[in-house]
Amino acid sequence: MEDISVNPEEKTGKVNIKTQKILEKFVSNVDITQKYSLDDLKKMLSESYKSSKVKEEGEKRALSKYNIFIQNEMAGFKEAHPDKSNKEIMSLIAVKWNETKNV
């Protein structure tokens, strides 16, 4: 039988930092005094994986002309049409955008 090692460093010589973060989160969530089903452990591991994802902060793209137009028009349309939903207001702004774009 093959020896199953808990420490991935023993087999590869190095630890993937992402894997290490996932394992640390998983181990911190496990209470050794409780018994877990396989499904429970899978859920815990999945949650550890999802929570370990780190988004890199990069530069934001510049707003497009359409986005700037929407920002400028949204407040005015909300005041002029307080009874309309955001979806309906966006439809009205889109119509106005298409009219100004075609001119």
Q: Answer yes or no: is pLDDT of 1 > 50.
A: no
Using the CB atoms, write b or e for 68-82: b if 16+ within 10 Å. Answer: ebbeebeeebeeeee
- pLDDT per residue over 17-49, tens digit each? 778 888 888 888 888 899 989 998 899 888 888
pLDDT at 64: 92
Among 5, 3, 45, 4, CA closest to 21: 45
Look at the block and give the residue holding tokens 């181990």. Answer: 27
- pLDDT per residue over 68-99, tens digit each? 999 999 989 889 988 999 999 999 999 999 99
Q: Where are the chain's structural domains?
A: 9-52, 65-102
